[in-house]
Chains A and B, each alone.
Chain A
Amino acid sequence: MKTLLLFVVCAISSVTFASAQTDTTGAIHISKLPAQGVWLIKGWKFHTGDDPAFANPGYDDQTWQAIEPAKDITKLPARVQRGIGWMRIKIHVSEQVWKSASLRIINVPAIEIYIDGQLICKRGIINTPPKTARSYFNHLDPIALPASQKTDHVIAVRYCTDSGLTLFNQALFPFPFAGLQFLSTSSFSTIKQHFWYFQISDIASASVLFLLAIFHFTLYKYNRINKGNLYFAAYALFFGLYLITAYTDNFDNYTDVFRAGIALGDLLVIISLLFCLKAILTLFNFNPGKFLGAFAVVTIIVILAWLFIDGIPELVGYGLFVIILVIELWLAIKAVWLKKRGANIIAVGFFAGLCCAIVYALVNTGQIYIPFFLFLAAGSVIVLGPVLAISIYLGREFALDGLLLQAKLSQVEELSAKNIAQEQEKQLLLEKQNELLERQVNARTADLNQSLNNLKATQSQLIQSEKMASLGELTAGIAHEIQNPLNFVNNFSEVNIELINEMETEMKNGDEEEVIAILEDIKQNLEKISHHGKRADGIVKGMLQHSRASNDVKEPTDINNLADEYLRLAYHGLRAKDKTFNSELIVNFSGDLPLVNSVPQDIGRVVLNLFTNAFYAVHQKQKTAEKAYQPTVTLSTESDKTHVIIRVKDNGNGIPANVKDKIMQPFFTTKPTGEGTGLGLSMSYEIVKAHNGSIEVESVVGEYTEFIVKIPV
């Protein structure tokens, strides 16, 4: 960059060349001095070798070869580029010009300048061997011309190429080999001032860049999420360093140091642009993947090669700068196209830089003219435009993030306030609902209580129904049971009437013995009558008791009697209903059964139910079993120390295991609809439980069922 700038500044335009003319003797005529001065382009002759006589104005250089030393070294004959040599030029300068002019020199080799044989300027060290020669570069300090009344002069230049300069790619330094310019003192001071301004501008820009670098690095340091700040800081830092190298060039230094500074500057600026690229990619969330790294490596390698390998055209390096800048500009435009936030700012920055660069180039190439300070400003805009744009962008992002955060914060506050309000509302609603719920629960509880009462009423009705149902089952049995004793009562009464008649006869006959025998019979018969009368009475009472609501009065009860009575009732009840039914009844009563304190009609209901079930079971089996099947119902009683145990066993079909658990449940029945209430066993269970007893079932399917009722003594 800087080399280009310098080259352009130092370039020798055709305009300046036109002002110098040659005469017949080959001398260059300079009669007036334009503001841009006069370059000594043509009229030079050169000779390799070293002789102090060559400085002598009278020396005959007819045999020397013509040369244009204002061209850059690569365009000169190879001989010129080696060792020590001399160049001479004859000039014809008007006295007025000579008085007002100074000499300006741009040189590549170390040189000594002789005017009319007199050494007036020395730039660097000319030494033999030439390797120890070292060139010095200073084109801003005017070289005063020696006072002279003459108008014809001879300028001799002794030079020695500096081998140290070949370290760098020569193509990068297209400076005049030995450019000599007559310049008015005022123009000189103007140029010097301009360069001073350039330096001031560079320093100022560098300061701005360093500040920005520090600022953005600080931003990054405290918020590492935004890496854009870091890359931007690096971009600004390297660009600032580059500008500093421009300062250290100083345009007044050993040429090799000057060139090293330029090379370093080029390297710094390319690194800076790579960081700029990275920063832009990061800011706009473009992700080129590993491409960027590869590109950076390639770029650095190319730049290094470009700096150090002779012959690589300068265009390669500058092209690379341009490519990176174009990429960056393209990214900025793409970001604008994608409507990325703040992309406009960066695009404007780059665009401004680009515009200024174009203006700069146009001015430098003499296409247009603008005042110097505008030119200087354009230079600053090239440097600072993109930098400031990115900085502004980052600052804006930071500010917007802050705003966003603030907005979010207020949103959060609003939300939390809303939340609290909602919570309170919810709480209130909940309380209301709780209240409502409680009321509903109370209402439901009342309903439930009502239902429960209804249920209890229904249950007692059902129990009564069950009692009546079982009474119905018993009616026929009861009739039969009453019929038998009544028959006996009648028969024995009739027999007694006969016997009394007979006794009358015998008394008349006086057969006292016979009378006594008859009396004995009558007495026996009366006992029978009484017995069967009581039996009938008992049955009727039992029936009444059975249907009556339980009065829960416990009394000592003979379980044998109770069970026997109900067994008969059940049996005959079933017989009466179904003539085909028959069953063997086996009764094993324990002889020493203690009386049990119980409600007799309740226990009666239990055993009645068990008998009814047993008969039903054997009858069911009888319907399908082979003829040899003998339906048998066994009633047995026994007692241990604490309990009276009643066993009712039938050899019916048994109870499957899956039904066994349910048989005590209310309304569970295996009988066809309408035949059983499903309440028998559940009622029995309740009754036995109320007596603190238990009912157990043992059954083998297809073989038997045995109900075991235990009632505590």
Chain B
Amino acid sequence: MHMKILVVDDEADVQPLFIQRFRKEIKNGDFDFSFALSGEEALGYLEEHHSEVILILSDINMPGMTGIELLSRIRQSYEKPPPVVMMITAYGDDENRHQAMEKGANEFLTKPLDFNLLKEKLNTFIHD
């Protein structure tokens, strides 16, 4: 099953990291990663590739549009089918988590990312 995932993070090195981490899955064609360096860029990407992207991984702390805002925008703009949105943050406090879940996040992950856990979650969502 081909699954398009959009990763939103202002750290450019997140891209090679994900590609390395998911190299087997990418090779197998399970996942297809796209990257955006900001919320704005992510929205722009979604504008064009809305139907393809079924899962979005977004950092919360970003200059400009935050991950939470991005989440709100996505929930407002794309109701059908609603993409899965997972929020990632370095600040894993309850308030952050609560806010993210309230805005409609499917998952809330804290940095440093446990990629094995992430893989499990991704697989769960895919199979659902």
Q: Contact between B13 and A483 (Cβ–Cβ < 8 Å)?
A: no
- B60 to chain A: closest residue by CB: A579
- Complex: A676 Cα to B63 Cα, angstroms: 24
Instruction: From A17-25, A68-76, A245-253, A520-528, give the one contacting chain B.
Output: A520-528
- Complex: A499 Cα to B111 Cα, angstroms: 22
A483, A486, A583, A584: most-surrounded residue (chain B CB, <10 A): A584
Q: Contact between A524 and B63 (Cβ–Cβ < 8 Å)?
A: no
Q: List CB contacts (< 8 Å) of B49-65 with chain A.
A: 61, 63-65
Q: Is B17's CB within 8 Å of the partner chain A?
A: yes
**Residue total for A at the interface (Cβ-Cβ under 8 A):** 27
In the complex, what residues of B have CB within 8 A of residue A525's CB? 16, 20
**Residue total for B at the interface (Cβ-Cβ under 8 A):** 23
Interface string of A202-223 (1 = CB under 8 A from B): 0000000000000000000000
In the complex, what residues of B have CB within 8 A of residue A585's CB? 63-64
Chain A binding surface SS class:
helix
Q: Contact between B13 and A528 (Cβ–Cβ < 8 Å)?
A: yes
- Complex: A575 Cα to B25 Cα, angstroms: 35
In the complex, what residues of B have CB within 8 A of residue A524's CB? 16
Q: List CB contacts (< 8 Å) of A655-672 with chain B.
A: none
- Complex: A491 Cα to B19 Cα, angstroms: 12
Q: Is B115's CB within 8 Å of the partner chain A?
A: yes
Q: List CB contacts (< 8 Å) of B32-68 with chain A.
A: 61, 63-66
Instruction: From B79-87, B89-97, B101-109, give the one contacting chain A.
Output: B89-97
Q: Contact between B91 and A492 (Cβ–Cβ < 8 Å)?
A: no
Q: Is A571's CB within 8 Å of the partner chain B?
A: yes
Query: Given the interface contacts A484-B90, A490-B112, A576-B91, does A584 sit within 8 Å of B63 by beta carbon?
Result: yes
Q: Is A616's CB within 8 Å of the partner chain B?
A: no
- A499 to chain B: closest residue by CB: B20
Q: Is B119's CB within 8 Å of the partner chain A?
A: no
Distance (whole angstroms) from the CB of A46 to the closest CB of chain B: 162
Distance (whole angstroms) from the CB of A55 to the closest CB of chain B: 170
- A587 to chain B: closest residue by CB: B63
Q: List CB contacts (< 8 Å) of B1-22 with chain A.
A: 11, 13, 16-17, 20-21
- Complex: A572 Cα to B63 Cα, angstroms: 9
In the complex, what residues of B have CB within 8 A of residue A583's CB? 63-64
Q: List CB contacts (< 8 Å) of A577-627 with chain B.
A: 579, 582-585
Q: Contact between B63 and A487 (Cβ–Cβ < 8 Å)?
A: no
Q: Is A532's CB within 8 Å of the partner chain B?
A: yes
Query: Given the interface contacts A487-B111, A487-B112, does A495 sit within 8 Å of B91 by beta carbon?
Result: no
Q: Contact between B61 and A491 (Cβ–Cβ < 8 Å)?
A: no
Interface string of A473-511 (1 = CB under 8 A from B): 000000010011011101110110001000000000000
Q: Contact between B90 and A521 (Cβ–Cβ < 8 Å)?
A: no
Distance (whole angstroms) from the CB of A170 to the closest CB of chain B: 143
- B18 to chain A: closest residue by CB: A491
Query: Given the interface contacts A491-B21, A579-B95, does A571 sit within 8 Å of B13 by beta carbon?
Result: no
In the complex, what residues of B have CB within 8 A of residue A572's CB? 61
In the complex, what residues of B have CB within 8 A of residue A499's CB? 20
18 interchain pairs, CB-CB under 8 A: A480-B90, A483-B90, A483-B112, A484-B11, A484-B111, A486-B112, A487-B113, A488-B11, A488-B13, A488-B17, A490-B112, A495-B20, A525-B20, A579-B91, A579-B95, A582-B64, A582-B69, A585-B63
Shortest beta-carbon contacts, A-B, top 10: A585-B63, A584-B64, A487-B112, A495-B20, A582-B66, A491-B17, A483-B90, A488-B13, A480-B90, A487-B111
Seed contacts A484-B90, A488-B13, A491-B112; 19 additional CB < 8 Å A-B pairs? A480-B91, A483-B111, A483-B112, A484-B11, A487-B112, A494-B115, A495-B21, A521-B23, A524-B16, A528-B17, A532-B13, A571-B63, A579-B91, A579-B93, A582-B66, A582-B69, A583-B64, A584-B63, A584-B65
Q: Which residues of A contact B (CB under 8 A)?
A: 480, 483-484, 486-488, 490-492, 494-495, 499, 521, 524-525, 528, 531-532, 571-572, 575-576, 579, 582-585
